[in-house]
Structure 1
Amino acid sequence: LEGIPTPGATVNIVDAATGKAVATVTSDADNSALIELHPRAAQVFYAESTAPGQRYRSRPFQAAPDRGVQIPVMVMPRMLATFDLRAQAEGEFLAFRVHYSLSNNSWFPYSAGPSGLVLPLPSGAQGAVVADVDADHVTVTPTGFRLARPLEPGATTFVAGYSLLAAKGKVRLAQDLPLGAYTSRLAIVKEPGMAVELLPKLVATVTTTGKLTYFVVEDIMLPPNRALDLTITMPVYPRAEMLVRSACRAMALDRTHALIGKPLADFTAPQLDGTRLTLSSLRGKPMLVNFTATFDNLAHTERPTLAKLAATLPELAIVLVASDADPKKVRDAVGPKPPYRVVLDVPTAANLGPITTAWGVSLIPESFLIDRKGIVRAYVVNSRDWGTPDSLGCVQALLR
């Protein structure tokens, strides 16, 4: 009941025609019971139980006179809510993505009232959204996610998101759960200096998947009208990095790279005009260092957007590091007068040059955003459109 095994539950077997109990049984330690009935022809029954102070009924069933019937009886709330909540620090915010599953365990639609069912947002939540594919049946209100239509029998699912702002380095997730929580899950991307304070009886384990490490809480079970309440201590970063993290939230940056927060790894390399460029000579300007190659198709689509970015933000120093041995191929790719600097990083192994591998780049294209002091502030994986408002906002954070 409400996620807790209940040996000893009392169940009545009721004649559906008269509404009277024809047998009463109490389950034993293994949650099973044997009932002897002598049904009339075509007699219909249902199982019924009351706990705690609420009546529950099964679907109707019939017993075959010569064989009886075996029925599983699960005593549970009519509505069960399950969530899979994932969170990741994004600047001064903790960004949440949640997958809701609402199970109507009855055989007829569930209506929460004229205004529909509202799943409350956590206190202080900002920027709440629902996935485009779910927008036809779920809307965002100032107080929560609203499902206006009655819920059909079975599961109704949707995906949503919101953010919580850290106050003095802490984020409190306080979320009312009118339907409770059944076998739910919480996973928070773990960063250095992060800690999680949980409700009693909830235990967080640390799990690594790929490049990311998570605080994970499995099998969250809470009865209806309880709240999920926990506090996350956020890592403290320099203000310059926090500004970039906040501005770049929409770009879903990879923050696991070892160079983030550290001085750029300096290099000197030949440019297409034969002169040599030392990267540290650009210190004092914000920089975007893009690792590319002529053999990579994604890089072909990214380069025009880098040219657009260079025209929009002329104070930004853009440097392309091309893992190519043939300068002619690179000139053909970038054009005769590219609006950014291009250096050659002649490959020595695995098609990538030594500068590229020294920066920890194994796949291209990848980019690094560097502030005026030469500190790496962001690592951008894969090809991006640098002309979008999200990309411009991210880069402009370096100019402040």
Structure 2
Amino acid sequence: MGGQLARLQHRPRRGASERHAGWSARVLHVPAVRDVAGTPRQPRSGHLQVHDHVARDQSIGLPALAGIAAALLLVASGARGDPSRFLPWTESSTPALSLSDIAGRPHAVADYRGSVVLVNFWATWCEPCREEMVSMRKLQERLAGRPFVTLLVNYGESRLRVSEFVKRESVGFRILLDPNQDASRAWRVRVLPSSFLIDGEGRVRYSVIGELDWAGADAVSMVQDLLR
């Protein structure tokens, strides 16, 4: 499959739904964001990136989504199971997360105190997000009966669109809606997918930028350590 950064194709300006259909993307899956020279960089404020494990450095852009500007995608390297993918959380506190699910029921991170929580930011149009769900499901099954919860926070899409996706794909997770990206901004999400591991005390311990094999030995070990 290789590590190739593919082109994102942008068509002339049209209506929002047509513009959305006019983009295609498969971009690099990363352990940490770096530029083409290998220098670590932070995503620029207000820009979103999408990462995948199949690409190589060529032209760059962003899947069109209403209200999001096109942005430069940064290149990085690394294996999907690399334990260095788990970046220690350095902020002083855990950002607020209080959203409703598809049925309108409220959820907050505080509701799951005592459990290890995996918070994953994703979108239906994000292919690496969809692929990552397979390994997250395997992780959830492996830890069945343990105090472990997975919360999938949808980035900026309508309830109807997400509901249709969940029914079609039989997604077995708690899906929370972030239609105005308020939670995404609070959590400084600049890359999809982005994940965060929260310990039983409600503290964020690690973040993961890009797609990860959550069923892999390193990820399972990291979660089990937090469960102890």
What TM-score does the superposition give when structure 1 sets the normalisation length? 0.35
Partner of 1:19: none
Amino acid at match of 1:332: E
Q: Does 1:342 align with 2:175?
A: yes
Asked whether the 8 Å contact 1:310–1:340 carries over to 2, the reply is no
Whole-Å Cα distance in 1 between the matches of residues 105 and 117 of structure 2?
19
Partner of 2:209: 381
Task: Tell me by how many angstroms 1:255 deviates.
Answer: 3.0
- For residues 295-349 of structure 1, give each alpha carbon's deviation from its aligned partner in whole angstroms, at most 9, with x where no partner exists: 21110101122122111113211101101332232233334764321100013xx
Partner of 1:277: 107
Bigger fraction of residues in strand:
1
Q: Identify unmatched segments of 5+ residues in structure 1.
A: 1-208, 213-248, 348-352
Partner of 2:14: none
Structure with more contact order per residue of length (Cα contacts < 8 Å, sep ≥ 6): 2
Bigger fraction of residues in helix:
2
Q: Does 1:292 align with 2:125?
A: no
Whole-Å Cα distance in 2 between the matches of residues 296 and 335 of structure 1?
17
Structure showing greater Rg:
1
Q: 1:389 to 1:334 in 2, by over 3 A?
A: farther
Secondary structure class of the residue paired with 2:87: coil
Asked whether the 8 Å contact 2:151–2:175 carries over to 1, the reply is yes
Whole-Å Cα distance in 2 between the matches of residues 380 and 343 of structure 1?
19
Task: Tell me by how many angstroms 1:287 deviates.
Answer: 0.6
Asked whether the 8 Å contact 1:300–1:333 carries over to 2, the reply is no
Secondary structure class of the residue paired with 1:344: strand
Asked whether the 8 Å contact 2:96–2:183 carries over to 1, the reply is no
Task: Tell me by how many angstroms 1:362 deviates.
Answer: 0.6
Q: Does 1:321 align with 2:149?
A: no
Asked whether the 8 Å contact 2:94–2:203 carries over to 1, the reply is yes
Which one of the candidate residues 353, 365, 368 is aligned to 2:196?
368
Amino acid at match of 1:250: D
Q: Does 1:355 align with 2:188?
A: no
Partner of 2:227: 399
Q: Identify unmatched segments of 5+ residues in structure 2.
A: 1-38, 43-80
Whole-Å Cα distance in 2 between the matches of residues 342 and 399 of structure 1?
22
Task: Tell me by how many angstroms 1:396 deviates.
Answer: 1.0
Asked whether the 8 Å contact 2:109–2:202 carries over to 1, the reply is no
Partner of 1:305: 135
